[in-house]
Amino acid sequence: MTITKTAALAAILSAAATGAALADWPTDRPIEMIVAFAPGGGTDIMLRTLAPFLEAELDTQFPVLNRPGASGEIAYTALSQARPDGYTVSSLNRPGFLTMQIGRKLRYDPAEICPIARIVEDPGTFIVQAGSPYKSLADLVAFAKENPGAVSVGTTGVGTDEHLAMLQLEQAAGIDLTAVPFGGANEAKTALLGGHVAMIGLNVGEYTQSDHDAFRALAQFSEARSTLAPDLATAWEQGFDVLMSSERGLAARCDVPEEVRAKLAAAVDTALANPEFQDKARQQALPLAYKSGTDWQADMPVRLARYTEIFKLIEGGQ
Amino acid sequence: MTFVDLLMLGFSEAITPANLAFCLLGALLGTLIGVLPGIGPTATIAVLLPITFFLPPLAGIIMLAGIYYGAQYGGSTTAVLVNLPGEASAVVTTLDGYQMARQGRAGAALAVAALGSFFAGTVATFAIALAGPTLSRFALNFGPAEYVSLMVFGLLAATILASGPVLKAIGMILIGLLLGMVGTDQATGAERLTFGAIELFDGIDFIVIAIGIFGFSEIIANLERTGSEGVKLAPLSRLWPTRQDFRDSWGAVLRGTGLGTLLGLLPGGGATLASFSAYSLEKKVSKHPERFGTGVVEGVAAPEAANNAAAQSSFIPLLTLGIPSNNMMAMMLSAFMIHGITPGPTVLTNQPEIFWGLVASMWIGNLLLVVINLPMIGLWVNLLTVPYRLLYPAILLFCCIGVYSMSNRIFDVVLAAGFGLLGYAFRKAKCEPGPLLLGFVLGPLLESNLRRTLLITQGDPTIFVERPISLAMLVATVLLLALMILPSFRRTREEAFQEEEV
């Protein structure tokens, strides 16, 4: 009896608390911003650059809390366990958010997490040594057709962006490449410089900051050319169906009241339009690419199906 | 850019007020923990590692490096004046240094130690400056196959150079390898040894193990001793050595420097091994070996020069190939990685200011250390009277904050505490934890490079003997293995470590 009473009381109290919070949102207390990666990474820099502008916009504070690990699962789990009152938001990364749903038992329900907005899109790219005979994807594909398995591609592990891009290229061009996992982009770059692998996968952001006399990019894997590399042709333009971008944005629980989520989205939208923010983003080499939460969300099932198909290739022993 | 230009670039980086301040801070901290027995540079650097994240990369690394070589200076002070090794690498310094102090020549012993260390540090700094660019050109030829052979050689060498029975060292390496396997497998995405804990998906963090095994367990072990045991200070007299001291010691300093620089390069080598070896070497070449242990100046000069030279030359494999040769360098590797810098040939070409700034700061740091240690010696000696009941809780607190702040997880603190107990058990069982840490760091590198090699060659293992560098490493490994089995070598090895037991 007592237990039921206490539970009922707790329910009333928490409902009251939520109601009160809603009215004052967001000025009565800080909004916690969970970042799924360690400080200093691309996602962390993006949100730390954005936070002061959101603070000015919403007249509140956005303390950043890094919860790195398990490629984001720790942060998404923390978000799904937070109260749905709009005082907790988290970073959202695609494809990581989608690929972890494939064949992995998660400790949260992905359907409970809704994007607020996409902020940055950093396309994937393949780079070769500057002196390499491959000048375009077509050159590489032609060679790989003659010599199946002979082209080694440095990635950062199974199921990572670079690996998925490689699998898409294999499928699109009907070729056979060899994936070689490395511990990180720097290790892979060193191996490419030493000629131990023929090609490595990177993000355009990483490529633009590396030595252009040493490397050449073959293609970028976004739908449209990134602001960071307007002269680099996409894989689509070169006739290969490869889509792989690191998309980074903000998310909240889906059961956060609609008007709170709308206010958050509007604040992000305004901040991104602010020339001062755009300046800061340029300094940090952030390829801004705003997409509304609804559009981004609508796009998720198609992408998930696509990645699920690709993952079947991995299990098929590719 | 020529060598001189690069060195100038390095000095211009190292001499900025901020970097100079961190160099001084590192040197001071190093001297401090060097002077205090029971707290070593490994534990200190483990504790400070998470903090360096908030510093610019170069400043953080300059400070950590300063702690390492600074501790070599500080350790000798306690060894000479109190007959306690402030530092593991100063154990042999107590043998002759304290005897000198009892004869009223403490000042001379300290001065010879500091000047010998300074000379050795200067030489080792130049060795890094010269070897760095040369070795790193060669490093691009280092593909996965070469790394595999080098790693196998390194792990075997680490077992030989560790003190205590070889079997225990091998055991520790194997435990290290096992710990290194925890987490998501890079090549298949499968979970290994995570027991379903989401916190273990990315493996165990190096800092957790380092703070647990070195920081926590060192404090537990020190608590066994009675508090601040009333230390007996030898009287400090005339600081400058006599002309005879200089004549006696310069040869020893030269030999110590040479030997130390070489031993620092070896996997598993480092300051402690270098000082023991230099002392044995001095005894062998001396015309009056029977006088060692009674206060001869060579017995102080050689090991002190050697430990400082080795402390610095052990940076060479790390900076050029990205391979840590001992647990201290594993910490340095982690300090680079925190900032997203992978040490290796690309750092030398793309971020020359990091490499050359560090090299220049080492020389400046050594100069600062002579100043810190000689005129200010009285201050450091007073430190020995700080009661440990105040010191240890403070260190413990820093350890916990450090571990927690890496990923904001209490899980890591509990894990580190577990490793602390494990580390204490290892101490009780007289198992040196150094090889464990090396196995933990090198294991994943060995595994992933082996996989890469076989992926690139599509499963053909002959590449290991076809590539000359790899072949040479494998031949060296086989020779080392043969040596280990030879009874005569095993005896020498046991003798070499005997003095440590004293």
The pLDDT tens digits for B334-374 are 888 777 787 877 788 778 889 999 999 999 999 999 988 88
What is the arithmetic mean of pLDDT over B169-184? 91
What is the arithmetic mean of pLDDT over B428-445? 85
Interacting residues of A288 by C-beta distance below 8 A, sequence separation 6+: A119, A120, A227, A272, A278, A281
Q: Is A186 on the interface with B (CB under 8 A)?
A: yes
Residues of B in contact with A210 (CB under 8 A): 350
CB A11 within 8 A of CB A66: no
- The verdict on a CB contact (< 8 Å) between B187 and A157 is yes
Q: CA-based diameter of chain B, in Å?
A: 70
- Which residue from B141, B189, B456 is facing A152, i.e. has the nearest CB? B456
Give pLDDT, residue B255: 94
Q: Is A257 on the interface with B (CB under 8 A)?
A: no
Which range (A180-184, A248-252, B232-236, B238-242) has the least confidence? B232-236
- Indicate the pLDDT class of residue B324, thresholds 50, 70 and 90: confident
Inform me whether the pLDDT recorded for B53 exceeds 90.
no
What is the arithmetic mean of pLDDT over B385-404? 79
Q: How distant is the Cα of B153 from the closest Cα of chain A, in angstroms?
A: 21
Residues of B in contact with A196 (CB under 8 A): 143-144, 452, 456
Q: How many CA atoms lie within 13 A of B60 on its CB side?
A: 23
Which range (A73-87, B220-234, B388-402) has the least confidence? B220-234
- The verdict on a CB contact (< 8 Å) between A181 and B448 is yes
Inform me whether the pLDDT recorded for B229 exceeds 70.
no
- The verdict on a CB contact (< 8 Å) between B340 and A186 is yes
- Indicate the pLDDT class of residue B289, thresholds 50, 70 and 90: confident
Tokens in use for A141?
């594909």
pLDDT digits (tens, 9 = 90+) for A38-93: 776 788 889 988 999 999 999 999 988 888 877 888 899 999 999 998 999 999 99
- The verdict on a CB contact (< 8 Å) between B198 and A40 is no
Inform me whether the pLDDT recorded for B63 exceeds 90.
yes
Give pLDDT, residue A21: 52
- Which residue from A65, A187, A193 is facing B140, i.e. has the nearest CB? A193
Tokens in use for B327?
């647990």
Interacting residues of A88 by C-beta distance below 8 A, sequence separation 6+: A31, A32, A34, A78, A79, A82, A252, A253
Smallest Cα–Cα separation from A204: which of A92, A88, A47, A42? A42
- The verdict on a CB contact (< 8 Å) between A181 and B187 is yes
For an interface test with A, the pick among B208, B321, B333, B407 (most A C-beta atoms closer than 10 Å) comes out as: B407
User: What integer best gives the mean pLDDT of chain B?
Assistant: 84
Q: Which residue has the higher pLDDT, B451 or B241?
A: B451
User: CB neighbours (10 Å) of residue A100?
Assistant: 18
Give pLDDT, residue A236: 94
Give pLDDT, residue A16: 46
Inform me whether the pLDDT recorded for A291 exceeds 80.
yes
Helix axis angle, B468-485 to B487-496, nearest 10°:
90
Specify the DSSP element, H or E, that contains B299.
Answer: helix B298-313
- Which residue from B143, B201, B345 is facing A196, i.e. has the nearest CB? B143
Give pLDDT, residue B434: 79
- The verdict on a CB contact (< 8 Å) between A194 and B408 is no
Helix, strand or coil for residue A199? Answer: strand
Residues 33-72, chain A, touching B (beta carbon < 8 A): 38-40, 65-71
Q: How many CA atoms lie within 13 A of B80 on its CB side?
A: 38
Q: How distant is the Cα of B406 from the closest Cα of chain A, in angstroms?
A: 8
- The verdict on a CB contact (< 8 Å) between A73 and B201 is yes
- State percent of chain B over pLDDT 70: 93
**Which residue spans within chain A are E strands per DSSP?**
32-35, 64-66, 88-94, 113-129, 152-155, 178-181, 199-203, 215-220, 245-253, 288-292
Q: Which residue has the higher pLDDT, B499 or A47?
A: A47
Counting every residue, how long is chain A? 318
Between CA A206 and CA A209, with CA A208 as vertex, the angle to 5 degrees is 65
Phi/psi class of residue B162: alpha, beta or left (left: φ > 0; alpha: ψ in -120 to 50)?
A: beta
Give pLDDT, residue A121: 93
CA–CA dist B19, B61 (Å, integer): 10
- State percent of chain B over pLDDT 90: 25
Inform me whether the pLDDT recorded for B415 exceeds 90.
yes
What residues form DSSP beta bridges with A93? A248
User: CB neighbours (10 Å) of residue A283?
Assistant: 9
Torsion of CA A21, A24, A28, A32, to 10 degrees: 60
CA–CA dist B34, B66 (Å, integer): 12
Smallest Cα–Cα separation from B203: which of A68, A45, A143, A261? A68
Interacting residues of A7 by C-beta distance below 8 A, sequence separation 6+: none
For an interface test with B, the pick among A33, A90, A107, A190 (most B C-beta atoms closer than 10 Å) comes out as: A190
Q: How distant is the Cα of A49 from the closest Cα of chain B, in angstroms?
A: 17
- The verdict on a CB contact (< 8 Å) between B408 and A39 is no
Q: Which residues of A216-255 are buried (b: 16+ CB within 10 A; e: fewer)?
A: bbbbbbbeebbebbeebebbbeeebebbbbbbbbbbbbbe
Give pLDDT, residue B501: 43
Q: Is the ipTM of this complex over 0.85?
A: no
CB A315 within 8 A of CB A159: no
CA–CA dist B113, B308 (Å, integer): 10
Residue in A closest to B455 by C-alpha: A180
- The verdict on a CB contact (< 8 Å) between A73 and B198 is yes
Smallest Cα–Cα separation from B111: which of B147, B84, B73? B73
Q: Is A284 on the interface with B (CB under 8 A)?
A: no
DSSP B198-264: GGGTT---HHHHHIIIIIIHHHHHHHHS-TT----PPPP---SPPHHHHHHHHHHHHHHHHHHHHHH
Tokens in use for B236?
């400090």
- Indicate the pLDDT class of residue A111, thresholds 50, 70 and 90: very high
What is the arithmetic mean of pLDDT over B52-80? 88
Interacting residues of B394 by C-beta distance below 8 A, sequence separation 6+: none
Inform me whether the pLDDT recorded for A277 exceeds 50.
yes
Taking the mean position of all CA atoms in its chain, how far away is CA B318? 12
> Helices (H) and strands (E) in chain B — how many of each?
25, 2
Residues of B in contact with A193 (CB under 8 A): 140, 345-346
Inform me whether the pLDDT recorded for A5 exceeds 60.
no
User: What integer best gives the mean pLDDT of chain A?
Assistant: 87
Torsion of CA B405, B411, B412, B418, to 10 degrees: 140
Taking the mean position of all CA atoms in its chain, how far away is CA B439? 15
Residue the block writes with tokens 């290790």:
A187
Give pLDDT, residue B236: 66
- Indicate the pLDDT class of residue A23, thresholds 50, 70 and 90: low
Q: Which residue has the higher pLDDT, B477 or B142?
A: B477
Residues of A in contact with B339 (CB under 8 A): 40
Q: How distant is the Cα of A297 from the closest Cα of chain B, in angstroms?
A: 26
What is the arithmetic mean of pLDDT over A133-141? 94
- Indicate the pLDDT class of residue B420, thresholds 50, 70 and 90: very high
Helix axis angle, B57-82 to B41-48, nearest 10°:
150
- Indicate the pLDDT class of residue A271, thresholds 50, 70 and 90: very high
pTM of the predicted protein model: 0.77
CA–CA dist B24, B228 (Å, integer): 28
Q: How distant is the Cα of A12 from the closest Cα of chain B, in angstroms?
A: 32
Taking the mean position of all CA atoms in its chain, how far away is CA B313? 10
pLDDT digits (tens, 9 = 90+) for A197-253: 999 999 998 888 777 788 899 999 999 999 889 999 999 999 999 999 999 999 999
Inform me whether the pLDDT recorded for B48 exceeds 50.
yes
Give pLDDT, residue B163: 67
- Which residue from B188, B199, B350 is facing A69, i.e. has the nearest CB? B199
Give pLDDT, residue B295: 87
